[in-house]
Structure 1
Amino acid sequence: MSLRVGYVREHFSSPLLQYALADQEKTFTLVECPSGTGQLISRLTNDEIDIAIALTDPLISGIAKGSQAYKLVGSYVSTPLNWAVITGKDSKYKAITDLKDTTIGISRPGSGSQTMAYVMALQQGWDTSSLKFQVNNDIHGLIKSVNDDSTSAFMWEWFTTKPYADSGDVRFIGSVPTPWPSWMIAAHPSAERANPSAVREFLSNLSGYVRSFGSEEQRKSASVEFIKDKFGYPEEDIRAWLKTVAYPSDCAEIQTQVVSDTLRVLEQAGVVSAPEGGFDLAQFFNIEIVKLTSA
């Protein structure tokens, strides 16, 4: 039985898409999750996918809050994600500081769009417990909400939303990069749904496509053309993004410090609360699959 791999159809997923196109034996099936990491976690919980390639912070915070639907098994993108802070085309908001005590749009509870709103609030010195949110499901619902004034702003990856800003549908009023590597890989802990040997093979093969896509040679032309063909972004935006992104050499490795550092920031932001004695990092990983490193 092939693995069901949940993903978000964005430029970051390009190496995964290249792997899927070459997977003649159909060892895995892609399941698109347009609402982002909140939807990925929900589908892991509801037995709709077996593996998720998702944002680091919601994956970690989900386990910290007690989710048993997945464990971390690998890394996908090793550089931060640059989150744009986005408001309506005619809204009154001109800067991040204007957003204090307003309602922020998010895709789903537990999503990266919500987590990063907490991080933004932490940076601004706001009381994170007073943040107000409205769920708007996907990018189209979020754009509608900032233009009908039901929310003040929302946060989404910079290059994904740049076309909407370029066309005048929304405005960027700032950005907040993640203080952690942006994408990780999680799998359901049961061997029936995510057989360890099958997941290890998936991660090993994905690593090859990640290394190829991120190579200096491919970045000059082939990777640019692939993103242009699949996503329709302007070439100058693609080349600008490729200068900012890095992938791991081995997708089956995770640095334990990434998890501990992310938990520390999430705790400061009020997203998670550590149990007495602190978090047990062992609960975050499937050690049958992942290779843990200290640096």
Structure 2
Amino acid sequence: MAPLRIGYVREHFCSPLLQFEADDKSETFTLVECPSIALTDPLISGIAKGSQAYKLVGSYVSTPLNWAVITGKDTPYKTIADLKGTTLGISRPGSGSQTMAYVMALQQQWPTDDVKFQVNNDIHNLVASVNDGSTSAFMWEWFTTKPWQDRGEVRFIGSVPTPWPSWMIAAHPTRAANDALTAFLSSLSKYVTAFDNEQSRASRNVPFIKEKFGYPEEDIKAWMATVGYPSDCGSVSEKVVKETLSTLEKAGVVKTADGGFDIKTFVNTDVAKLI
């Protein structure tokens, strides 16, 4: 059987996956770096909009993702409220950076159909856009973008945590064999549990993340205090899917189908345990 090809983004959240890869001597899977990999909300909204390219097969991070609201080093914006009516930078349509801008608009009681966007593809172009004035701000995960703030290239003016757990696991409905996915998720759960336990948090995790990503120890420890992982990566919460859909609908990102959404449209229940 050919190894599974697992798309991932090279960020601190993927540390348990990287530890799993390092120990996978039989090479049951290979990692494929995908800088624009989707988070929980784009995965769910994509299916809601009709994509049949994937279904949810598991869960990866059980805590919210903290999105920093980031502006340029010399802009006049001091608070999130100052951004009303301006153009926000996003990586691509339908991305988490766009969805969370809608969530921010809901929190600020701005009309979501009046939020303007400029697509800038990646973090480097987003940073450039807030400094050249083509956008007012953009949103990205707090600790990933903190080095730009530490170097004085941008400023953080607020944050918006996701109303849902940040990372889920999705797979193509037919390209990946169900038994291979089930085995992968079972093994991944062991690495996630090992990474998430108290002893690893106090010892192994910090030097591992520092070596892999170069973050300062104080930032790693601050992040570790906020992140949690599921005990079973092979399960999907029906409540999480439904509540995410509800928020996305309020934000104007998706529209409820006639008769409502069927949970089995979103989850491959031949692989994932629906809880």
TM-score range, shorter chain: over 0.9
8 Å Cα contact 1:35/1:139 also seen in 2: no
Which residue matches 2:118?
Answer: 134
Counterpart amino acid of residue 33 in structure 1: C
| Secondary structure in 2 matching 1:175 | strand
Counterpart amino acid of residue 259 in structure 1: V
Q: Which of residues 150, 163, 167 in structure 2 aligns to 1:183?
A: 167
The answer to whether 1:78 aligns with 2:78 is no
Shift of 1:98: 1.0
Percent identity over the alignment is: 71
Which residue matches 2:10?
Answer: 9
The answer to whether 1:123 aligns with 2:107 is yes
The answer to whether 1:61 aligns with 2:34 is no
Counterpart amino acid of residue 207 in structure 1: S
Which residue matches 2:84?
Answer: 100
| 1:77-135 Cα deviation digits (max 9, x unpaired) | 00011000000011111111111111111111111111100100011111111111111
The answer to whether 1:215 aligns with 2:197 is yes
8 Å Cα contact 1:84/1:175 also seen in 2: yes
Shift of 1:195: 0.4
| Secondary structure in 2 matching 1:272 | coil
Q: Which of residues 121, 124, 129 in structure 2 aligns to 1:145?
A: 129
| Secondary structure in 2 matching 1:250 | coil
- Which consecutive segments of 4 or more residues in structure 1 shift more than 6 A? none
| Secondary structure in 2 matching 1:155 | strand
Which residue matches 2:226?
Answer: 244
| Secondary structure in 1 matching 2:27 | coil
The answer to whether 1:261 aligns with 2:243 is yes
The answer to whether 1:27 aligns with 2:28 is yes
| Secondary structure in 2 matching 1:129 | helix
8 Å Cα contact 2:236/2:267 also seen in 1: no
Q: Which runs of 5+ in 1 are unaligned?
A: 38-54
- In the superposition, the TM-score normalised over structure 1's length comes to 0.92
In structure 2, C-alpha distance between the alignment counterparts of 1:151 and 1:206, rounded to whole Å: 39
| Secondary structure in 2 matching 1:283 | helix
8 Å Cα contact 1:36/1:111 also seen in 2: no
The answer to whether 1:156 aligns with 2:157 is no
In structure 2, C-alpha distance between the alignment counterparts of 1:106 and 1:216, rounded to whole Å: 36
| Secondary structure in 2 matching 1:104 | strand
- In the superposition, the TM-score normalised over structure 2's length comes to 0.98
In structure 2, C-alpha distance between the alignment counterparts of 1:280 and 1:222, rounded to whole Å: 42
In structure 2, C-alpha distance between the alignment counterparts of 1:208 and 1:36, rounded to whole Å: 23
8 Å Cα contact 1:75/1:251 also seen in 2: yes
Counterpart amino acid of residue 26 in structure 2: E
In structure 1, C-alpha distance between the alignment counterparts of 2:36 and 2:41, rounded to whole Å: 16
| Secondary structure in 1 matching 2:159 | strand
Shift of 1:277: 1.6
Which residue matches 1:88?
Answer: 72
The answer to whether 1:111 aligns with 2:95 is yes
In the superposition, relative to structure 1, how do residues 113 and 135 fare at CA in structure 2: closer, same or farther (>3 Å)? same
Which residue matches 1:48?
Answer: none
Shift of 1:35: 2.9
| Secondary structure in 1 matching 2:184 | helix
In structure 2, C-alpha distance between the alignment counterparts of 1:72 and 1:79, rounded to whole Å: 17
Q: Which of residues 178, 191, 200 in structure 1 aligns to 2:182?
A: 200
| Secondary structure in 2 matching 1:121 | helix
In structure 2, C-alpha distance between the alignment counterparts of 1:87 and 1:35, rounded to whole Å: 21
